[in-house]
Each structure stands twice: as structure tokens, then as C-alpha cells.
Amino acid sequence: MNDKPEKLIDKKGIRLDGRKADELRPVKIQVGVLPNADGSAYIEHGKNKILVGVFGPREMHPKHLSQSDRMVIRCRYHMAPFSVQERKSPAPSRREVELSKVIRESLEPSVFVDLYPRTGIDIFIEVLQADGGTRCASITAASLAIADAGIPLRDLVVACAAGKIDDTVVLDLYDAEDKLGVADVPVAYMPNLNAVTLLQMDGVLSPDEFESAVNMAVEGCKKIYIMQKEVLRNKYMVVKEEAEE
Amino acid sequence: MPIFFEKKQLVTPGELLAEGDYQPGENTYMEENKIYAQRIGLVDAENKRVNVVALRAFYVPKVGDIVIGTVTEVGFNGWTIDIRSPYAAILRASEVLSRPFKPQNDELSQVLNAGDLIVAKIASYDRAHDPQLTVGEPGLGKITRGQIMRVTPTKIPRVIGRKGSMISNIKQETGCQIILGVNGVILVTGKTPADEELAMMAIRKIEEESHTSGLTDRISQLLKEEKSKMEENKT
């Protein structure tokens, strides 16, 4: 398992896990899974399993952190000790602190923060199982949880990564491809407004490769967005159908 | 000037609703002459105004609203009340005592203590200040009996029904007194706990099926069935 395979993608364009270059991992999403949170969502993106709970808007504690002209968004990304092969210390690591900030900033443009001044919302992201691309799956789920809490949004935020393995640009890298590949480009995107809210790159890409990676990631986002909308609709449709019977 | 939805369609945040000569109404916003949804809800257009009736939202105070709240803190010259909104409400001591308030004569916790429930009206509120409550009207003040239930605040209009048809129906069938707090808290006071239970069951059903049609008829049918069952059990 730890030996590097000769090739991450074969001549026919099939990857180690059997996907084509522009194919997403299977995605399964649920909303409203936690009755104690104001809004919640659960996502299974390939082998990633992530649970998100949102509280608020509520009064800020401690009070001095509140802003008199806007709502404050706080975000905690946390990986469970059992989420990876080698036990991870439950204390927040440098990586988790950074991801918390990055996820918060990618969600902030979608929320109408100036509508409810002096309040705050808290987003708690728990990664139960990680397999590459957790920040993207977290953003997708967190945006749904915010919508589920009844907080007004400009648009849902979807995220998806693209990258380069061997010499091919591919969509939605999983753990092995992320570690052994050449580059990884996570993108968060608001489809209706055609706005990118997060764009990172780790690795080396030529300008042309970078452009095709971003375009590929945006296409991936659009596919996940359809699922996101579907899930939100279904939650309320189920009740409607039951009543009509 | 196209519209991109059917009447009563379920929409998600960010969905494009209309373009051009339309006004953004509740739970919608306008950008570059296009109107989008802000919340999950059902769309409707009324005189060029596009509205979304939200299925999930929280309570935002409005002056004149009747709310039901819980006392969370007894202060020096008033109480802090939780009204299930992003902002905590303030109730001044002089408001309740109806005479000048002197800290040396009055022990506030003997009037209202933490955990007490009150029916109150929002006296003032704006962006910069927390809402202030008043209890100086008949029907307002401390709650002494009955049962409390909580629903999503957006569903209160549905519990009231068209011109109050739904709520008066429940009141009549169960013989309960029902006070609806606009903040989603409902007080049910009846002659027996069984009556209260029945009224609460009906309200819970309304909450679950609020976005369906023909609900008023289904509820009155349900109430009649349950009542006849209760009668059978007695005999």
C-alpha cells in the first residue's frame, strides 16, 4: 500500500480507483440530520464522511467579539482521531486551524452578514473519515447546513478539486492521488452567480494546465450543485407527498 | 421580463426567480436586475412583487408582535428575556410594577424569577438596540398554567389559517385557550390535560404538513375522529 505504484493513470485513461479523468467520486448528501443543531448536513464524498452542524444566528459569546454592523461567522474544522490511518491527536493542528479559516472565508461571501448585526453563527465541521478533498466536501456540506438553519444566502457554495497526476489533468483527487500526484487545485464556487469563493493550488502546473484544472473543477462543482439542490428539495417534498396520499 | 418559476414551486437559496420589471419581496434579493431566492421556500408573485414563503427561518423581532419568552436573568432594574430570536429582549421593572421602581423596596426575583414564562409585546426594536418588551396590556404577563409548545416561527401564520379559520376551529373543537407567540412559542390552556394534548397534536400536524393544500379540512376531520375515540374510552 505504501509503495508508489508505477502509474497513477493507465494508457486508457483509467485511474487507480477505476475512474475516468473527468469523473467524480460517488456523492451522497443528507440535510437536517442533527435535531439539536439549528441546521445540519452530512456528506459522503467517496470515502470521506463529514458531519456539519450550524448554530445561530445568536448573541455572540464573548460579547466583545460581536460587530455592531454585521454578523460574525465562526468556523471549526476538526478531524476525529479515527478519521485517518494513523491516530490523529484530537487537539487542533496547524492544518485544521488554517482549514477552518479557509472554509469560513469561502462561505462568508454567500451569507447576508449585514442583515443581522451584533449576532454570530457557529459552524462545526467534524471529519469522521478522510480520503482526500475534505475541505471541498466540508464546504459543500456546510453551505447546506447554513441553508437548513434558515439563514439567508446569496447562493449555495459548492466545492470540488481538480489536479494533475502523472501528466494528466484529472477531477476530484482522492488521498493517494493527492499525495503521489503533481498538483491539487481546490475550487469553491457559487453556480448561479458564477463566482469563485475559494481557489488554492498546491504543486506545480503550467498556465494552460492550471486553466483546464480550474475549468474542470468548476464543471465538477456544477454536478455536485445539482445534487445539493435535489437534497434540499427532497427534504420538504417527502412531507408533501405523504400528506397528499 | 420573464419569470422562471411556477406558482408555489419549492426553491432553494440562489435560484433565479425573475428578470427585469419585478420587485424583490420577502426572502428574495436583487442583483443586476435579476431576482434570486434567499431561503428554502415556496415562491409566489403578486403585482410584480416576488415573494418566497420561507420553510426554515428564525424569529426577527417586530414592534407590536405578541411573543412568549422565558426569563433568563434577573438584573438590577429589569429582566432579560429569551424570545427565541438572535437578540435577547429586555423587560424593565417599572413596566411590570406599574409604579416608580425603587431598588431598596422591591426584590425583582419575587415578581419574576429565572425560568418563568411570560406573554409580552415588543415595544421597541431596531438594528442598533435589543428589543424592549411591555406587559402593560390585558392578556399579557406571567403564565401560570397551561402547556408550552414550540414550532418554526414561519409556520405561525399557517396555524392561524385564513382569517383565523384554523385556530378558531381548534379552539372550538378542543375547548382550549390558545395564545400564539409570533416567535414560534404556543401556549395551550385547556380544562383537562387530554384537551391540551389534542390541541397540541393538531398543531404539530399543521407544522409538519404546513406547505400542503386542504389542510384545514384534514385537521378538523382529525380532531373529530380523536374526540370520538376519547368519548369511547370513557364509556
Mark yes or no for CB contact B56/A153 under 8 Å: no
CA distance A4 to B120: 69
> What's the pLDDT at A238?
64
Count how many domains chain A has.
1
Which chain B residues have a beta carbon less than 8 Å from that of A117? Answer: 127-128
pLDDT at position B210, please?
77
Per the domain annotation, does B113 fall within a domain? yes
In this structure, what C-alpha cell is assigned to residue A164?
Answer: 494533475
pLDDT for residue B91: 95
Is A149 an 8 Å CB contact of chain B? yes
Categorize the per-residue pLDDT at B152 as very low, low, confident or very high, splitting at 50, 70 and 90: confident
CATH label of the domain that carries residue B17: 2.40.50.100
A14 inside domain: no
Q: B54 touching A, CB under 8 A? A: yes
A222 shares contact with chain B (CB less than 8 Å): no
Tell whether B104 is covered by a domain: yes
Element (H, E) at B121: strand B117-126
Residue-number span of the structural domain to which A182 is assigned:
27-226
Residue A235 lies in a domain: no
From A105-119, B117-131, B220-234, the region with the lowest mean pLDDT: B220-234
Mean of pLDDT over chain B: 89
Residue B230 forms part of a structural domain: yes
d(CA A53, CA B226): 38
Mean pLDDT value of segment A200-208: 95
Which of A58, A237, A243 has its CB closest to that of B86?
A: A58
Number of structural domains found in chain B:
3
Total-model pTM: 0.91
Band of pLDDT at residue B161, cut at 50, 70 and 90: confident
**Model confidence band, residue B46 (pLDDT cutoffs 50, 70, 90):** confident
Other C-beta atoms lying within 10 Å of the C-beta of residue B152: 17
- Asked, for residue A237, whether it belongs to a domain, the answer is no
Residue B164: predicted pLDDT: 87
Is B92 found in the same domain as B29?
no
Q: How confident is the model at residue A240 (pLDDT cuts 50, 70, 90)?
A: low
Asked whether residue B40 falls in the same domain as residue B100, the answer is no
**Best mutation target, A38, A59, A157, A192, to test chain B (most B CBs within 10 A):** A192
Its sign, for the CA torsion A146, A148, A154, A156, is: positive
Q: Examine the pLDDT at B136 and tell me if it is beyond 60.
A: yes
Last residue of a domain, one of B91, B117, B142: B142
Closest Cβ opposite residue A153 in set B38, B128, B154: B38
Q: The domain that contains A187 carries what CATH number?
A: 3.30.230.70
User: Got the DSSP string for B9-60?
Assistant: -EE-TT-EEEESS-EE-TTEEEETTEEEE-SSEEEEEETTEEEEEESS----
d(CA A199, CA A182) in angstroms, rounded, equals: 17
**Which residues in chain A are closer than 8 Å to B39, comparing Cβ atoms?**
147, 150, 152-153
Asked whether residue A19 is assigned to any structural domain, the reply reads: no
Q: With contacts defined as CB-CB under 8 Å, which chain B residues touch A229?
A: 12, 15
This model of the complex carries an ipTM of: 0.89
Q: Looking at the complex, report in whole angstroms how far the Cα of residue B86 sits from the nearest Cα belonging to chain A.
A: 4
Give contacts of B 133-192 with A, CB under 8 A: 152, 154
**Which of A3-12, A170-179, B76-85, B170-179 bottoms out in mean pLDDT, i.e. has the lowest?**
A3-12
Grid cell of B196 as nine digits: 391540551
**Which domain covers residue B169, as residue numbers?**
147-234
SS3 (DSSP) at A167? coil
Task: Give the model's confidence band at A3: pLDDT under 50 very low, under 70 low, under 90 confident, else very high.
Answer: low
Per-residue confidence band for B7, with pLDDT thresholds at 50, 70 and 90 = confident
The verdict on B95 and B27 lying in the same domain is no
Identify the residue whose cell numbers are 439542490: A229
Q: Are residues B166 and B197 in the same domain?
A: yes
CB A152 within 8 A of CB B13: yes
Closest CA to A213 of A200, A226, A224, A197: A200
Q: How far apart are CA A192 and CA A202, in angstroms?
A: 27
Dihedral sign from CA coordinates of A155, A158, A164, A168: negative
User: Do both B100 and B129 map to the same domain?
Assistant: yes
Domain annotation covers residue B1 = no
B55: amino acid identity, one letter? L
B204 inside domain: yes
Q: Between B14, B16, B212, which is nearest A190 by CB?
A: B14
Whether B190 is covered by a domain: the verdict is yes
- Mark whether B177 and B220 lie in a shared domain: yes
